[in-house]
Structure 1
Amino acid sequence: MTLILGIDPGSRITGYGIVRDNGRRCEYIASGCIRTGTGELSERLNAVFSGIHEIISSYHPDLMSIEQVFMARNADSALKLGQARGAAIVAATQAGLAVSEYSATQIKSAIVGSGRAAKEQVQMMVMHLLQLTQKPQIDASDALAAALCHAHHRQTLIAHDLSSAKSRGGRLRLTVR
């Protein structure tokens, strides 16, 4: 069984979700949000790093899945989002976790079947797939979706005996020996 930490990065709110992948289905473990407030960006990035570090220390996940940065209308917002992602990735790599990255479209496609799904659709499918009785916060459900996306991706690779393959930039890279 594998514990997967999913992250929906943000400079003000970073969602996290943890699922246990038993190879057949996923089980909900925990989710929530790291709220960084409105202070200086450096303080908010430290809060993201510290929050992810604390989650990793508490739950001991085996790997992390994180949403990639997309280019929004506001370049400044995209840069801050990228920095929050960086803080989360550094926290994971310092703890020895492998990190997989997926675009928002890949995550939505894996969970809902459409890369253009609304956040509420993703939230409802996450509830259904994990058999939750209450709606998780929207950022937490996006993080759970990232974790579920990676679980589905892993199961596909294992089923096709490609477990040593690495994903980079949304493309599968096979190591030829």
Structure 2
Amino acid sequence: MRIEHLEPRSTAPELMYDWENLLGVCGGRSGMPGGEYYTHCDRARRDRPLTIRPTAAVEASLRYARQAPDGEVNDDPGLWLIAPAELQADVDTLHLNNPALRRARRDAEKNVATLLERRHKQGKPMVPFLRQLWQAAATPDGEGCLPAFAPVVQRYVEGKLRAHGA
């Protein structure tokens, strides 16, 4: 984990050690098979300002989605779509749609789909299992971290729960 500054140090040096200005973030680098790496999050952001504050409650409600609020359907389940231009600018600044992250989001969705397909073939009840998967994605580990790509798993499971009338 790395420490990120909500207000960049270059523009707000007086907030460098202010607790409210610090945020734990991932390493900011994702790899692809073959050795190609992409920077994202704070490594991609550098000193550019963000529109959103990741710690604000309203920002916690932002979710990965395959359909943008303007109705555009996303045929790439790994692509993060956000309608308001200022939020899309943050996605671009943080490189949240780089190929490695898109692939990882697609893989997370495929893994859940495979689990559900296996469960269906076994004839086991789906709704309790879907709720269990959703809860697992919403539960922090011993260090307080959610599983990787938890919002992707939750969104996918929520769609399946709706399809099952739950």
Structure with bigger strand share is 1
- Higher RCO (CA < 8 A, seq sep 6+): 1
The alignment's TM-score, normalised by the length of structure 1, stands at 0.26
Q: Which structure has the greater CA radius of gyration? A: 2
The alignment's TM-score, normalised by the length of structure 2, stands at 0.27
